[in-house]
A and B are shown apart, each in its own frame.
With several copies, the nearest count.
Chain A
Amino acid sequence: MEIEIISFGKIAEFLQNQELQLEGIVDTEQLREHLENKFPRLSSMKYKLAVNKKLVQVNTLINNNDSVAIMPPFSGG
């Protein structure tokens, strides 16, 4: 399946927005592992995922054409 990856803040400095082809990955836990292999700098960083703009709180299934946001710690205000 194909998902859209969008990234923010300091993660956007090395991880571009892109379409990603996934094989055998069904949930956000597996996606984390995949992303950290593909983008090694991620593994040493704190980040949260949002699937279709909703923050991921527990392991969540991923579907074809989902949009996944990779977000470093928030620092608004």
Chain B
Amino acid sequence: MSEKKIKNIFVNGPISSAFIAESIAKHSTKTAIGGHSIFMGQVRADEIEGKTVSAIEYTTFEDAALEKMHEIREEIFEKYPLNCMHVHHSLGNIKNGEICLFVFTSSAHRKPAIDACTEIVERLKAELPIWGKEIFEDNTHQWKENK
């Protein structure tokens, strides 16, 4: 078992562009980094049977999600020569157009950062117990399913 502290990836509400900018700016002192890769998920105003998604409400099984994310983090650091890795996922009500996921990886050369970022997004969607409830303008809802 790893002794590393389990990080919290969850934030209440949307992830702001100011938060992302601050996260990017913090890396300017890390001069071994040559490439950063970022993925951001944004809530779409999907139209489903004539109704438009106005928001997604995210819930999670928090302890289980954080333990699994910790496992993914360790495996990703094992697999890729990364300098940094940051993951943030929203909980609660996220309106369409707002950002609900922010994955940020950095490495000396571009390839590990890019490949790790993609792999984290794939694994997060498949393996973390998080649920999105798509809320329509008329306050009805349906449960999102990842493809």
Contact = CB atoms under 8 A, between A and B. Distances in A.
B36 interface: no
Interface string B47-81: 00000000000111101110110000000000000
Contacts of A10: 131, 133, 143
Chain A: number of interface residues, binned into ranges: 10 to 19
A73 B146 contact: yes
Interface residues on B, range: 20 to 34
B130 A75 contact: yes
Contact of A75 (B65, B67, B132): B132
- B interface: dominant SS: mixed
Most buried by A among B59, B61, B89, B128: B61
B64 A69 contact: yes
B64 A73 contact: no
A76 B145 contact: no
A35 B68 CA distance: 25
Contacts of A40: none
A53 interface: yes
Given A9-B59, A10-B143, A77 B125 contact: yes
Given A9-B143, A50-B129, 4 more contacts: A9-B59, A69-B64, A74-B146, A76-B146
Interface of A: 6, 8-10, 50, 53-55, 69, 71-77
